[in-house]
Amino acid sequence: MSREDAAELVLNDIPDDPPEGFRPLPMGDGFNLYLGPVYGKMIDGSLRLGMRVGRRHLNPHRTMHGGITASFADMQLYASQQHDPALRTQLMPTISLSLDYISPVVAGDWLEGHTMTLKATRAVLFQQTLAKVGERIVFRSSCVYRLSGREAPEGSTLGATFSDIPVD
């Protein structure tokens, strides 16, 4: 694929059309710009992340590429950061991420992560995510993050971005 083909794919992809109340997340620089946009909405006191699956996210089988799935799963850290104000600006590198692919995701699907923090110690954060398209579970992930105690680089966390949004 040429650079021109890649640019055309991104520029003329499926419109995001997020559901009502979802706002774009700051994506920072680098790879996340190609993944996104990813959106967030406060639901029941927790940040829910979502994205519209476009043609650029697909593998040759016309389903969402596993690497995109893993990246979306890893971004669920934002949900944990938003839930706990003490974590909002902290650098938290990924220690491990495991994924179970349950059902395929195709172009046009709205993908949402339903994330819960399982435990936070002084040094480690454990979380799990069930990702859904509608009511259909499409993947389950388990992530472990290191709580570094250091400030994250500017633009790499959500900070208080969603703290002012009314909860549904």
pTM for this model (two decimals):
0.84
For residue 22, tell me if it sits in a domain: yes
For residue 154, tell me if it sits in a domain: no
For residue 73, tell me if it sits in a domain: yes
Domain that holds residue 94: 3-146
Which residues touch 114 (CB under 8 Å, ≥6 apart)? Answer: 48, 129, 130, 131, 132
For residue 165, tell me if it sits in a domain: no
How many distinct structural domains can be found in the chain? 1
pLDDT tens digits for 26-47? 776 777 777 778 999 988 878 8
- The domain that holds 23 is classified in CATH as 3.10.129.10
Strands (DSSP E) contained in 3-123 are 23-24, 39-43, 46-52, 94-101, 110-120
For residue 161, tell me if it sits in a domain: no
Q: Is the pLDDT of residue 78 over 80?
A: no
For residue 153, tell me if it sits in a domain: no
For residue 78, tell me if it sits in a domain: yes
Query: What's the average model confidence in pLDDT over 154-168?
Result: 55
For the chain, counts of helices (H) and of strands (E): 4, 7
Characterise 139 by phi-psi region: left (phi > 0), alpha (psi -120 to 50), beta (else). Answer: beta
pLDDT at 15: 82
At 72, is the secondary structure helix, strand, or coil? helix
pLDDT tens digits for 103-141? 999 999 999 999 998 998 989 989 999 999 999 999 999
For residue 135, tell me if it sits in a domain: yes
pLDDT tens digits for 62-75? 999 999 999 999 88
